[in-house]
Structure 1
């Protein structure tokens, strides 16, 4: 007897109508897609951080100086 839980209430999926089962299958598919996308986001965020670190390192190694912002310019005059 496979159980499902909605809003902290358990139901026996074998008691569900065909229409309810179709909704359950769609819900399970949507949940799986969300998990997959969350994993892809985590991978992309990790890669982004690595690219930022590599870019900062490359800028530092090449001796590029930052452009002063307007606040810095106001303090000079």
Structure 2
């Protein structure tokens, strides 16, 4: 007897990874290649996290510079 799928169960697609515009099924990659794919994903996530941290630091730096400028402007207006 053949296995039947009901229409409410989506058919599973093989997971793939795209490298240099070419798709590769993950289940056909060597263990070493899958490890490197995972390393790339983890590294990309870390780069994204660091970019967010950098944006926060740059925003804070701008706020500090603006506050310093305002304080220096007060100093310049009181000394003239």
TM-score tier, shorter chain, comes to: 0.7 to 0.9
Separation in 2, partners of 1:54, 1:4: 48
Q: CA deviation at 1:62?
A: 2.2
**Unaligned ranges ≥5, structure 2:** 1-13
Equivalent residue, structure 1, for 2:64: 51
The whole-number CA distance in structure 2 between the counterparts of 1:21 and 1:63 is: 62
TM-score after normalising by structure 2? 0.74
Match for residue 39 of structure 2 among 26, 32, 39: 26
- Runs (4+) of structure 1 exceeding 2 A deviation are none
1:58-69 alignment, distance < 5 Å: 58-63=71-76
Equivalenced residue count is 65
TM score, norm. by length of structure 1? 0.76
Superposed CA RMSD in Å reads 1.6
